[in-house]
Amino acid sequence: MAQALTMRWNAAKRAWHEYHTMYLFMLPFTILFIVFVVAPVVTAIYLSFTYYNMLEPPRWIGLSNYRLLFLEDDVFLTAIKNTLLFAIITGPLAYFTSFTLAWLINRLRLRQAYTLAFYAPSLTSGIAISVIWLYFFANDRYGLLNYLLIQTGLTSEPVAWLQEQSTILPVIIIISLWMSMGTSFLVFLAGLQSVPAELYEAGMVDGISSSLQEIFYITLPVMKPQLLFGAVMAIVNSFAVFQIAAQVAGVPSPLYAGHTIVAHLYMYGFIHFEMGYAAAIAVVLFAMTFILGRVSIRLFSERGA
């Protein structure tokens, strides 16, 4: 035991001797990372087992928050349902659209201009551009969409897009998809450009005869790291949906039709100041994205590693 400790100590001393400048390089980032990323995650996990309203010190209540969350909080179940629905639709759709558009752009001239056109929406501030979308989907006949629908005779009465329970989530999905050609889209595009031309030539010699075969046998395998990055980003973004929902439908939205997990988190954290409960919501969301992220890494590494 003592011997093992001494060995450990000596190894640490050797490492420090060899790499101390490098550890110093990492120090500033590490400190901030621990304070503002690691500590919050640990704190959230601890707080999720307590009752904490920021006035009194946290009081340990075991699993009560989680029990309440899953067994009694119907609004949370609505939030989970909305978030999953949103994620199942936008996640894969945004992912495949990003790749398809990147693949198509890669065949065009004036790539830069096309890239900019599709990427621009994700550069825009959600709060600034939602002004335009609010006008587009406005509930009265002055809204652009209602105007067009009435003009073409598809409806006679304006549709209250942002108030109807059945239309709020679709509207949020449409706007999110519009904004979803983001970092992954650029990563795919750059990845496509970096596939060596010799591989395609070799593929032709080996009998690849269509673009589709080329994508499946050459492009996708070569781009595995980029595709994995895109998958992780798609999962994270589609589960964290909130800002657009809040801008478009408000918090809480009519009949909670646009209520998401993050919206629930904000409602309890910053409107009701029930930090313990909010922390439990955060932990659930974190667990969901983390598990899915790990699953996608596993999936990608199994495919012909």
Partner 1 sequence: MASIITRKRAGFHRLIKRQASPSEYLIMTTLALLTMLPIVYMVSTSFKPLEEMFLYPPRFLVRHPTLRNFAELILAIDSFQVPFARYLFNSLLVATVTAGGSVILSSLAAYPLAKYPRMPGAKFFFTIIISALMFAPEVTQIPRYLIVDKLNMIDTYFGLILPALAGSYGLFLMKQFMEQLPTELIEAAKVDGATEWRIFWQIIMPLVRPAWITLIIFSFIGTWNDFFTPLIFTRSEQMKTLPLMMSNIGGGPGVVARWGAVAAASMVMILPTLILFVFLQRFVMETMAYSGIKS
What count of Cα atoms within 13 Å lies in the side-chain half-sphere of residue 193?
12
Choosing from 33, 60, 96, 216, the residue that interacts with partner 1 (CB under 8 A) is 33
CA 18/CA 55 separation, integer angstroms:
49
Question: Cβ contacts of residue 69 below 8 Å, gap of 6+?
Answer: 76, 277, 280, 281, 284
Q: Which residues pair with 50 in a beta bridge?
A: 60
Q: Closer CB to partner 1, residue 85 or residue 135? A: 135
Check binding of 221 to partner 1 (CB under 8 A): no
Choosing from 6, 7, 39, 255, the residue that interacts with partner 1 (CB under 8 A) is 39
Choosing from 95, 99, 118, 256, the residue that interacts with partner 1 (CB under 8 A) is 118
Residue 178 Cβ, how far from partner 1 at the closest point, in Å?
Answer: 7
Q: Helix axis angle, 74-105 relative to 183-193, nearest 10°?
A: 30
CA-nearest of 166, 126, 123, 159 to 143 is 159
Q: For residues 211 and 184, is the Cβ–Cβ distance under 8 A?
A: no
Q: For residues 188 and 222, is the Cβ–Cβ distance under 8 A?
A: no
Q: Closer CB to partner 1, residue 54 or residue 71? A: 54
> H helices of 68-182, where?
74-105, 111-123, 126-136, 144-151, 165-178
Choosing from 2, 62, 74, 107, the residue that interacts with partner 1 (CB under 8 A) is 107
Query: Site size for partner 1, by CB under 8 A?
Result: 118
Residue 165 Cβ, how far from partner 1 at the closest point, in Å?
Answer: 15
CA-nearest of 100, 229, 239, 264 to 176 is 239
Beta-strand ranges (E) seen in the chain are 50-51, 59-60
Q: Which residues pair with 51 in a beta bridge?
A: 59
Check binding of 121 to partner 1 (CB under 8 A): yes
Q: For residues 252 and 270, is the Cβ–Cβ distance under 8 A?
A: no
Q: Closer CB to partner 1, residue 156 or residue 210? A: 210
Q: Closer CB to partner 1, residue 155 or residue 301? A: 301
Query: Interaction with partner 1 in 161-220: which residues (CB under 8 A)?
Result: 162, 178, 181, 183, 186-187, 189-191, 193-194, 200-201, 204-205, 207-211, 214
Choosing from 7, 9, 13, 22, the residue that interacts with partner 1 (CB under 8 A) is 22
**Interface segment toward partner 1; rule CB under 8 A; list 63-71, 73-81, 82-90, 291-299:** 291-299
Query: Interaction with partner 1 in 52-81: which residues (CB under 8 A)?
Result: 54
Check binding of 51 to partner 1 (CB under 8 A): no
Check binding of 10 to partner 1 (CB under 8 A): no
Chain centroid to CA 102 = 19
**Interface segment toward partner 1; rule CB under 8 A; list 61-69, 78-86, 88-96, 100-108:** 100-108
Chain centroid to CA 82 = 15
Q: Closer CB to partner 1, residue 85 or residue 204? A: 204
Query: Interaction with partner 1 in 135-164: which residues (CB under 8 A)?
Result: 136, 138-139, 142, 144, 147, 151, 162
Neighbours of 206 (CB within 10 A): 9
Choosing from 51, 66, 70, 119, the residue that interacts with partner 1 (CB under 8 A) is 119
Q: Helix axis angle, 224-239 relative to 74-105, nearest 10°?
A: 150
Check binding of 99 to partner 1 (CB under 8 A): no
Check binding of 1 to partner 1 (CB under 8 A): no
